[in-house]
A = this chain, B = another copy of it.
Amino acid sequence: MPPPPAGQVRVQNLWMSVDPYMRGRMMTRESYVPPFRLGEPLEGGAIGRVDSSACEGFAPGDLVQSMLGWREAFNAPPSALTKVPTTGLPPEALLGVAGLPGLTAFLGVTKVVKLQAGEVVFVSAASGAVGSAACQIAKAAGATVIGSAGGAEKCAFLREIGVDQVVDYKVEKNLAAALAAAAPQGIDAYFDNVGGVHLDAALQSAKPFARFALCGMISQYNQIEGTAIQHMRLVVTKRLRLQGFIVSDDFDMMPQFVDLMAGWVASGAVKIHQTVEHGIENAPAAFLKLFSGGNIGKMLVRVST
């Protein structure tokens, strides 16, 4: 990289974020973000360090967040950068529990589902970046949390972060029966990251008037035809509310959320857990692991130190 031109800074990326929603930008169907462009790097969140500045207000050593193409280093004007706030958190947490995945979890649990103390919530893909944040925010709200994940290691992780009942969907032949056993009184709320049979199971275990926050459907992203949902009838008979939401509609809540999350992490209510791949050359593999279940907590690529 050449030194930055006047009015720009040079940034060495430290961490790159790898997120399931990026899958949706790899096809041309209608969605809430435009598709990636052929021949250009994938765009994604990153945390980097200024190593040379030709711009007032930035000095070498400053940590900055960006949303540019996947890269190790770049020159950019301040308009493309956000200074990392002082939070007491490790900076990469701003890509995870204190970043978009965390805010997504927070919105689903509070704004969409309005979870109350004493309620029972089911979280699917509970060991992922959003799911594990949702579980811990729900526990902090005083709820009983049932989480689903695939495999013994992830299930052990869920118990470690305080999830009350763990469903291993790779072991359970009948997910609906497993959820019903984990929540014999039914569920008041469902935080859906998976769709498909998970959503169908949640419909069956829902109490009357249960609320569903539909956040993502990772089981569906690599399918042309969606998985059949068999139990939509129950939305009527149980008066359920199913609501989709997207974090970008509430970006303005980020500053207050970061403060809140910093407090939760400081108090131990929320634990930071991430899966780290090293080197930009491993970014595509890291991305693919999101769909084969290769991450616990937030998936990150460590670009440099």
Contacts and interface: CB of A to CB of B under 8 A. Distances in A.
A1 interface: no
A119 B228 CA distance: 30
B229 A239 contact: no
A226 B231 contact: yes
Contact of A233 (B217, B230, B245): B217
A111 to B, nearest CB: 12
B244 A237 contact: yes
Given A232-B226, A232-B229, A237 B30 contact: yes
Interface in A197-233: 199, 208, 214-217, 220, 225-233
A71 to B, nearest CB: 27
Contacts of A235: 214, 242-244
A244 B241 CA distance: 6
A231 B224 CA distance: 10
A153 interface: no
A128 interface: no
B243 A240 contact: yes
7 contacts: A195-B232, A214-B235, A225-B230, A226-B229, A238-B244, A239-B244, A241-B244
Interface of A: 24, 30-32, 195, 199, 208, 214-217, 220, 225-246, 249
